[in-house]
Amino acid sequence: MSPAYWQNVVQKKNLGRLITDEEVIELNENKAQKALEATSSAKKFCDNIDEMEIMCLTRKEGSGGKLFGKVSSKDIISELAIILGSSFPTSITKKVKLEIEGGCEVIKNTGEWKVKVKVTGFEVFGSFILKVVGG
C-alpha cells in the first residue's frame, strides 16, 4: 500500500490501523492453535468413522435391486452428520471427500459398498462399509 493511499483514505476513514510486532506474533500463535485444533478434530472424525465399520441406508427400491434415484456423496455425508452427531466437526464438512468402491460417484443399486473417507488438507483417512437396502 502506498503511503499516500494510507494517509488519504485508510487512516482518514478509519479503515485500518498499524499493528505492533507483538500483535503479529499473537495472530500467528492463534492461527497455529486453530490449525492444531482442526487437525485433531479431523483425526477424531476419521477415528469415529473407523470405529463405525458399517452404515446402513434405506432407500426406495425398484425391480432388480435398482434404486429410485441415487445415493450421492452429499447424502452419505449428511447421514454421517446425523449418526455421529456432535462428534461430526462442521468446520471440515466441505473438506470431506468420499471415494466409493469401483470409482463410481453415485450409487444406483442396493448392496454393500466400501467407502474411503479423506479429509483434504489434513491427509487423514478412514473407511467404512455402506450397506444400501431397499425399503
H or E stretch including 127? strand 124-134
- Over residues 69-94, the pLDDT tens digits come to 888 888 888 888 888 887 777 777 78
pLDDT at 108 over 80: yes
pLDDT for 93 equals 78
- E runs forming strands in the chain: 54-59, 66-72, 96-100, 106-109, 111-119, 124-134
pLDDT at 97 over 80: yes
What 3-state DSSP class applies to 10? helix
Classify residue 59 as exposed, middle or buried by CB count within 10 Å of its CB (0-12, 13-18, 19+): middle
pLDDT for 32 equals 95
Q: What does pTM read for this prediction?
A: 0.71
**Least confident segment among 55-64, 79-88, 109-118:** 79-88
pLDDT at 5 over 80: yes
